[in-house]
Amino acid sequence: MAIIETKNLTYTYGQGTPFQKTAVENINIAIKQGEFIGVIGHTGSGKSTLIQQLNGLLRPTSGTVLLNGKDIWEDPKKIRSVRFKVGMVFQYPEHQLFEETVLKDIAFGPGNMGLGKDEILKRARAAAEFVGLKEELLEKSPFELSGGEKRRVAIAGVIAMDPDVLILDEPTAGLDPRGRDVLLSQIVTYHKTRHNTILLVSHSMEDIARTADRVLVMNAGHAAMFDTTENVFACDRELEKMGLRVPQITKIMAVLKAKGYPVGTALTVEQALKELIPLLGKGNRNHD
């Protein structure tokens, strides 16, 4: 059974007004427990509207969201409990930090779950460790931290609720290359350790290529593609028509393949090297 499934999911802003606009229309997807899903699409494609329906921040205009086979809006009074199971980290989440210490900020989410004090602190400290926050930072004000550290505090606050599904909306936006790589590797480690389901929304095709099992491509409010990462990025021409750019290394390998070289699709530089090094060796032997 899928952990999250949508059936004919549609959301219309300003319904019944002159400003009516359908942002997401007739989405039918199923996501399995433990998958790492990448979500891509140009600005205005419907990505944010879609993910905000997955944990009940937006109620569908029509269609349903199923969590473990159950309509999350079956009992609207219990929608808050859905948000503990499907955690959401918004873009620039550090803007939502407000507690006097880092530890208190991370503990805020589990504190709302009605847990005991010891369990709350246990979860908060474990989440801080997951995202690489040092012990000496926990009693500091979150506003004294660097941008990357603030981002990790905000993500830890959601992780501390131990959600079955973690949705990350552009988690590396605005970070320098090193900060982006560190945070992304920590998310991957968390996923491998926790074995939960992750949806990563990103404009970085390289980030998606490095992490995702499957990729959902949103275009004009529709699910244009939903397939393995390799299959999606192999459709480079179709993606470019949607205003999306495949990873540069994938593009290079596609050009080599078109020229007759016996190479496959590569999503990362490491994958490309595995394809190319044997060919270079053959080239040297032929030259000799």
Give first-to-last CA distance, the chain, whole Å. 57
**Separation of alpha carbons 215 and 40, rounded Å:** 7
- What does the pLDDT look like over 110-146, one tens digit per residue? 999 989 999 999 999 999 998 889 999 999 999 999 8
Two tokens, residue 136: 């000496």
pLDDT > 50? residue 279: yes
Tell me, what's the pLDDT at 283? 56
Beta bridge partners of 217: 40, 225
**Separation of alpha carbons 238 and 114, rounded Å:** 48
User: 190: how many CB neighbours lie within 10 A of its CB?
Assistant: 19
**Separation of alpha carbons 199 and 191, rounded Å:** 11
Two tokens, residue 228: 């393995």
pLDDT > 60? residue 286: no
Two tokens, residue 43: 């600005």
pTM of the predicted model, to two decimals? 0.89
- What does the pLDDT look like over 139-166, one tens digit per residue? 999 999 988 889 899 999 999 999 999 9
Contact 141, 149 (CB under 8 A): no
Query: Cα 171 vs. chain centroid, distance in angstroms?
Result: 8
Tell me, what's the pLDDT at 287? 47
What domains appear along the chain, each with residue ranges and CATH number?
2-229 (3.40.50.300), 247-288 (no CATH)
- For 189-217, what is the mean pLDDT? 93
**Separation of alpha carbons 132 and 183, rounded Å:** 9
Kindly report the backbone phi and psi dihedral angles of residue 35, in degrees, each rounded to the nearest multiple of 5, phi listed first. -75, 150
Kindly report the backbone phi and psi dihedral angles of residue 193, in degrees, each rounded to the nearest multiple of 5, phi listed first. -80, -45
pLDDT > 60? residue 288: no
Nearest to 84 by CA among 162, 171, 167, 4: 162
Burial of 1 (0-12, 13-18, 19+ CB in 10 A): exposed
Q: Round the average pLDDT of the chain to a whole number and report it.
A: 91
